[in-house]
């Protein structure tokens, strides 16, 4: 006997080809009924054989369209009304808006095929897209998500485009950015060229620096094999050493530059198209200035039609900014700010509404490990426990914010370092945009208790009940939420610095934590941070702080005696238990790096110089009972002693990493013996160190622990807002 079932599908299900998909699925199974959009997502009624209806429901969950995210499928029984056809019905726009905007997706294979087909009306059209690909989050200006509320509003569809848009059987049915050469955006080159794309390609081939308007902002491009072009880009951009990302035309070209694992290839070729950090081949045809002193390279594949047309060989594609400013995304601003860097500008007239940087990912044991979660990921929600709606303001550096509602956390795109007016404005505007887009009126505001963070000051200015979430607790909560866990866990939070509950700078923390609260079970023994922020830029100061002997090479630099005295007397030298600073001290002692041009540089170079075959360990003894401390000084002493004995630096660097991993296992074992907790969460920026992460996870697993690491948000401060939101929701 036939049954009729009402189905509701929630998630990212509008503007992604969901209704044509449902139509095809139902008719393929011989079912009748209807499908439509409403404020809550997609509603469906299907009628037919019960087994086929079961297959239909299964297909909804397991085979949705490329950009869809099916979060919830709920069903109810209806009275059968008799068989008929299957209809796509008009949208019901009443009620509350809960349907979600998709992330921006790389050009799909169908669109690429059309773009390369000389007979197609979109042949070589740089803005081709469909329901399965193209701009979404970066062009949305408001709700509901339809064309007037995108930056395509100014482009009236031509007849053929309107016909595709209105045809339920067409793969551009209700694709909001649909367009063609007759009705859509177009390219322009400054200085003017009649054929902008060809002129831009020629310019790149001849060694020029080109500013290119992308999906979420401007890039600066140069031929990656051209030492002169890359060096010019670096000097004009005032960027000394921080690596540039490279866009390659296809996977073959990527394999020519890097040794790629299967997981890395999947990430590179998937629809999200992040920059993937991978191991560089020794013979890679890249100018040295692309990633100086760095064994890995950030690669990405083209993700817009324009990239496919423009990039025919490995090309540096770095953010369009000077130094550490936010990337430019508005045309006039870009032309003004990048004038001293770019020889020419490849522009187009589709506005970017939300500045969105490229995402950066690594892989760890076959799974993604985010370094920066932005374009291609935001604003996809991450599940959190259901609670009152929260606005979490994030950290100061690598800021993201997060809004929650109905068990979903919307972590923002990468905002950046909140240290200038423009990023602060992007932060405030972004919060307003997300509130409107997802219809969220926060009832609680979560923030870092650091009194100097601009995000904290913003939070305290809002007229909402506030919840302060300690920085390292937020890291561990972020790792819990990332894994859909609630704790309790043994939380190991290693980073540069975060504000502790005692007002000192923490950063080498062993916590017992769940989403609601934490106890500081142990920590790295504090040392002075001589000169405060100066010690972060100059790792040699940390060698002085750890009191290494004056006859080592690191002590020969000017200022050593003064900084040593500063550390000894605690003048302008606040105490810190930072693990990041211990890495700095060791990098400086070993002569790997004593000044940094970008955050984490010393630790990155220390990791890269370590000999992975070395298994020796520098032991550290945990001391104290209630609240143990880990003597970082013992490890530094072991480093110094091996250095004096003539042990090669790569061996010492490896023993140091192994030692830190071993102390993670020791500390976790001690906490387990006291609490019975057998799960460890690893978070904080230091766990972007893959050698440390690998050794720590192996050691913990061998010791019988379950280990949680990051997969959806970064272990660095980009993940803090999710952790704050999870804690505030739990405390609600």
Residues forming the site for Zn ion (CB under 5 A): 108, 111, 130, 132-133, 158, 161, 180, 182-183
- Which entry of 4, 19, 520, 593 is annotated as an active-site residue? 19
Least CB distance from residue 381 to Zn ion, whole Å?
23
How is 3-54 classified by DSSP, letter by letter?
Answer: EEEEEEEEEE-SSSSHHHHHHHHHHHTT-EEEEEEETTEEEEEEEE-HHHHH
66 is catalytic: no
Q: Say how far apart CA 199 and CA 210 lie, in whole Å.
A: 11
Least CB distance from residue 17 to Zn ion, whole Å?
10
Q: Which residue, among 274, 516, 463, 454, has the nearest Cα to 380 in the 3D structure?
A: 274
The contacts of residue 133 (CB under 8 Å, 6+ apart) are: 66, 67, 105, 106, 107, 108, 111, 271
Least CB distance from residue 183 to Zn ion, whole Å?
3
Nearer to Zn ion, 181 or 466 (CB): 181
321 is catalytic: no
Nearer to Zn ion, 177 or 498 (CB): 177
Helix axes 632-644, 579-589, angle to 10 degrees: 10
Q: Say how far apart CA 167 and CA 19 lie, in whole Å.
A: 11
Task: Quote the Cα angle for 135-301-251, to 5°.
Answer: 140
Q: Say how far apart CA 248 and CA 271 lie, in whole Å.
A: 15
Structural contact between residues 234 and 227, judged by C-beta atoms closer than 8 angstroms: no
Q: Say how far apart CA 369 and CA 364 lie, in whole Å.
A: 6
Nearer to Zn ion, 130 or 328 (CB): 130
Nearer to Zn ion, 180 or 661 (CB): 180
Structural contact between residues 40 and 8, judged by C-beta atoms closer than 8 angstroms: yes
298 sits in which H/E element: strand 296-300
Least CB distance from residue 270 to Zn ion, whole Å?
14
Sign of the four-CA dihedral 663, 667, 672, 674: positive
Q: Say how far apart CA 660 and CA 676 lie, in whole Å.
A: 23
Q: Say how far apart CA 139 and CA 660 lie, in whole Å.
A: 45
Least CB distance from residue 635 to Zn ion, whole Å?
53
Least CB distance from residue 231 to Zn ion, whole Å?
38
Nearer to Zn ion, 48 or 185 (CB): 185
Q: Say how far apart CA 113 and CA 94 lie, in whole Å.
A: 39
Least CB distance from residue 246 to Zn ion, whole Å?
25
Structural contact between residues 241 and 254, judged by C-beta atoms closer than 8 angstroms: no
CA atoms within 13 A on the CB side of 155: 26
Structural contact between residues 447 and 393, judged by C-beta atoms closer than 8 angstroms: yes
Least CB distance from residue 175 to Zn ion, whole Å?
8
* SS3 label, residue 343: coil
Nearer to Zn ion, 182 or 571 (CB): 182
Neighbours of 129 (CB within 10 A): 25
Nearer to Zn ion, 161 or 334 (CB): 161
Nearer to Zn ion, 160 or 612 (CB): 160
Cα-flanking dihedrals φ and ψ of residue 207, to 5°? Answer: 95, 15
Nearer to Zn ion, 130 or 691 (CB): 130
Measure CA of the first residue to CA of the last residue in the chain; give whole Å.
48
Least CB distance from residue 134 to Zn ion, whole Å?
6
Nearer to Zn ion, 88 or 158 (CB): 158
Neighbours of 258 (CB within 10 A): 23
Burial class (CB in 10 A: 0-12, 13-18, 19+), 574: middle
- Which entry of 37, 129, 399, 716 is annotated as an active-site residue? 37
Least CB distance from residue 102 to Zn ion, whole Å?
13
Catalytic residues: 19, 37
């Amino acid at each position: 006997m036939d049954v009729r079932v009402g189905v509701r599908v929630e998630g990212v299900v509008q503007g992604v080809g969901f209704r044509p998909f449902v139509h095809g699925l139902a008719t393929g199974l011989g079912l009748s009924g209807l499908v439509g959009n409403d404020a809550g997502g997609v509603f469906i009624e299907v009628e037919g054989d019960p087994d086929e209806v079961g297959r239909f429901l299964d297909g909804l969950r397991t085979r949705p369209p490329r950009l869809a995210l099916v979060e919830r499928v709920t069903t109810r029984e209806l009275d059968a009304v008799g068989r008929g056809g299957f209809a796509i019905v008009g949208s019901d726009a009443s009620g509350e808006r809960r349907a979600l905007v998709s992330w921006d997706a790389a050009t799909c294979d169908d669109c690429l095929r059309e773009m390369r087909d000389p007979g197609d009306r979109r042949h070589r059209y740089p803005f081709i897209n469909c329901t399965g690909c193209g701009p979404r989050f970066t062009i949305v200006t408001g709700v509901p998500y339809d064309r007037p509320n995108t930056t395509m509003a100014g482009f009236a569809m031509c007849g053929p485009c309107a016909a595709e848009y209105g045809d339920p059987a067409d793969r551009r049915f209700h694709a909001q950015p649909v367009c063609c050469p007759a009705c859509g955006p177009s390219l322009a080159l400054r200085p003017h060229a009649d054929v902008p794309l060809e002129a831009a390609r020629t310019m790149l081939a001849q060694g020029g620096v080109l500013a290119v308007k992308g999906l979420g902002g401007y890039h600066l491009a140069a031929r990656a094999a051209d030492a002169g072009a890359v060096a010019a880009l670096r000097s004009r951009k005032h960027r000394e050493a921080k690596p540039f990302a490279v866009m390659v035309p296809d996977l073959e070209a990527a394999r020519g530059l890097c040794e790629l694992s299967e997981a890395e290839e999947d990430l590179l070729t998937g629809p999200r198209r992040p920059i993937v950090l991978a191991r560089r081949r020794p013979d890679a045809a890249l100018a040295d200035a692309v990633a100086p002193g760095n064994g890995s390279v950030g690669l990405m594949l083209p993700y817009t039609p324009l990239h496919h047309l423009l990039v025919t060989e490995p090309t540096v594609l770095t953010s369009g900014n000077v130094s550490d400013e936010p990337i430019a995304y508005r045309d006039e601003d870009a032309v003004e700010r990048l004038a001293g860097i770019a020889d020419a500008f490849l522009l187009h007239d589709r506005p970017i509404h939300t500045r969105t940087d490229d995402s950066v990912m690594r892989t760890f044991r076959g799974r993604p490990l985010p370094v920066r979660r932005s374009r291609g990921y935001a604003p996809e929600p991450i599940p959190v426990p259901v609670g009152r709606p929260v606005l979490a303001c994030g950290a100061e550096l690598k800021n993201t914010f997060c809004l929650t509602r109905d068990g979903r956390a919307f972590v923002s795109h990468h905002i950046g370092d909140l240290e200038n007016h423009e990023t602060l404005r992007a932060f405030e505007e972004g919060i307003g945009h997300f509130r409107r887009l997802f219809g969220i009126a926060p009832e609680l505001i979560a923030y870092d208790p650091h009194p100097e963070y601009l995000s904290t000051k913003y939070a305290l200015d809002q007229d909402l009940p506030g919840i302060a979430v300690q920085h390292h607790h937020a890291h561990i909560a972020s790792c819990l939420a990332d894994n859909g866990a609630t704790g309790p866990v043994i939380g190991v939070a290693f980073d540069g610095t975060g504000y502790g509950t005692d007002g000192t700078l923490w950063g080498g923390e062993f916590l017992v934590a769940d989403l609601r609260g934490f106890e500081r079970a142990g920590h790295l023994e504090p040392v002075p941070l001589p000169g405060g922020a100066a010690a972060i830029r100059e790792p040699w100061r940390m060698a002085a702080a750890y009191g290494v002997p004056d006859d080592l090479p690191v002590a020969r630099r000017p200022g050593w005696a003064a900084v040593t005295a500063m550390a000894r007397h605690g003048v302008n030298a606040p105490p810190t238990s930072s693990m990041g600073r211990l890495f700095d001290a060791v990098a400086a002692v070993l002569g790997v790096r004593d000044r940094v041009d970008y955050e984490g540089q010393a630790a990155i170079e220390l990791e890269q110089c370590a000999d992975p075959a070395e298994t020796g360990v520098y032991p550290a003894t945990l001391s104290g009972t209630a609240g143990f401390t880990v003597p970082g000084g013992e490890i530094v002493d072991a480093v110094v002693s091996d250095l004096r004995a003539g042990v090669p630096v790569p061996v010492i660097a490896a023993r140091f990493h192994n030692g830190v991993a071993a102390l993670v296992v020791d500390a976790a074992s001690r906490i387990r013996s006291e609490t019975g907790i057998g799960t460890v969460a690893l978070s904080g920026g230091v766990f972007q160190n893959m050698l440390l992460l690998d050794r720590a996870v192996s050691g913990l697993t061998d010791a019988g622990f379950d280990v949680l690491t990051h997969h959806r948000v970064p272990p660095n401060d980009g993940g803090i807002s999710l952790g704050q939101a999870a804690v505030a929701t739990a405390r609600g």
